């Protein structure tokens, strides 16, 4: 649509892929277009978020439409909400039926920070949001472990798969956050074992990054199906 194209241009949003959903004009569209629950919606207002950032405008409707997504937007541009918001909306309500979403972060610090952010967005909702800590990995058996959103570094999660039999076969959403760093740190093998363990055929994968080097783009293309590529500003700045 011409209107979408003009709107994207105005916000410096570059997209490629098939049938790309229209960007969000404002947060109110989360309710009017996508039926966002009042509580979640209120949390955004309580956090003082007035307008979606460009990455949020485009990545949120893409993920809400059930499409896979690989995205590049500068540091500090609100990528966390861009994937947490659609996950919380799609999961709808808390459930004890296995692990439903996984977010991989390159370092423990980033994983801790992302967990905190997730909990702020989900405040007042009953979602179970957990960080895969060292203590948790030490447990004898994680095969019955369940939560709505699990945040982890690739190493911790790989160990939980290999040694503690954590079950990722029900994961519906997998996010690789800060993927450029994930790769710089040489975590490819660990990421690969997580990607394989998340064996649900209807899983929706997404990848977020501050830069999009060729090797990240290549990986995105190998693990994703009919993905939408979203770039805010320029690819490698």
**Nearer of residues 129 and 159 to Mg ion, judged by Cβ:** 129
23 binds, among ligand ADP, Mg ion, none (CB under 5 to 8 A by kind): none
**Nearer of residues 145 and 208 to ligand ADP, judged by Cβ:** 208
Of the residues 78, 86, 106, 154, which one makes contact with ligand ADP according to CB under 6 A: 78
- List C-alpha distances in Å: 61 to 27, 29, 136: 11, 10, 34
Shortest gap between Cβ of 78 and ligand ADP (angstroms)? 3
**Nearer of residues 20 and 81 to ligand ADP, judged by Cβ:** 81
Binding residues with ligand ADP: total (CB under 6 A):
12
Strands 228-232 and 13-16: antiparallel
Shortest gap between Cβ of 78 and Mg ion (angstroms)? 8
Of the residues 22, 33, 34, 77, which one makes contact with ligand ADP according to CB under 6 A: 77
What are the backbone dihedrals phi and psi of residue 26, each rounded to the nearest 5 degrees, phi first?
Answer: -160, 170
- Binding positions for ligand ADP, 51-70, rule CB under 6 A: 52-53, 56
- List C-alpha distances in Å: 189 to 13, 50, 184, 193: 32, 40, 12, 6
String marking each residue 76-105 x if it binds Mg ion according to CB under 5 A:
---x--------------------------
Residue 225 region by backbone torsions, left for phi larger than 0, else alpha for psi between -120 and 50, else beta? beta
- Binding positions for ligand ADP, 80-139, rule CB under 6 A: 80-81
User: CB-based contacts of 75: which residues, under 8 Å, 6+ apart?
Assistant: 210
Shortest gap between Cβ of 121 and ligand ADP (angstroms)? 9
DSSP 65-118: TT--EEEE--TTS-HHHHHHHHHHHHH-S---SSEEEEEE-SSHHHHHHHHHHH
Q: Which residues of this chain interact with ligand ADP, rule CB under 6 A?
A: 49, 52-53, 56, 73, 75-81
């Amino acid at each position: 649509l011409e209107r979408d194209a003009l709107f994207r241009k105005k916000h410096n949003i570059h997209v490629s892929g098939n049938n790309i959903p229209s960007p969000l004009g404002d947060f109110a569209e989360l309710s009017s277009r996508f039926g966002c629950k009042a509580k979640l919606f209120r949390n955004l207002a309580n956090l003082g978020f007035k307008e979606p950032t460009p990455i949020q405008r485009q990545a949120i409707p893409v993920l809400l439409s059930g499409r896979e997504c690989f995205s590049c937007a500068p540091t500090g541009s609100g990528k966390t909400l861009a994937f947490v918001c659609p996950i919380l909306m799609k999961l709808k309500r808390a459930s004890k039926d296995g692990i439903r979403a996984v977010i991989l972060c390159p370092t423990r610090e980033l994983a801790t920070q992302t967990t905190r952010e997730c909990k702020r967005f989900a405040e007042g909702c009953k979602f179970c949001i957990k960080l895969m800590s060292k203590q948790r990995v030490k447990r004898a058996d994680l095969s019955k472990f369940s939560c709505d959103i699990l945040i982890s570094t690739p190493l911790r999660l790989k160990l939980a798969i290999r040694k503690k039999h954590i079950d990722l076969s029900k994961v519906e959403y997998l996010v690789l956050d800060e993927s450029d760093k994930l790769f710089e740190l040489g975590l490819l093998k660990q990421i690969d074992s997580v990607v394989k363990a998340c064996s649900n055929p209807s899983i929706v994968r997404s990848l977020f990054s501050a830069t999009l080097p060729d090797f990240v783009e290549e990986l995105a293309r190998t693990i994703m199906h009919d993905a939408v590529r979203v770039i805010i500003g320029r690819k490698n700045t």
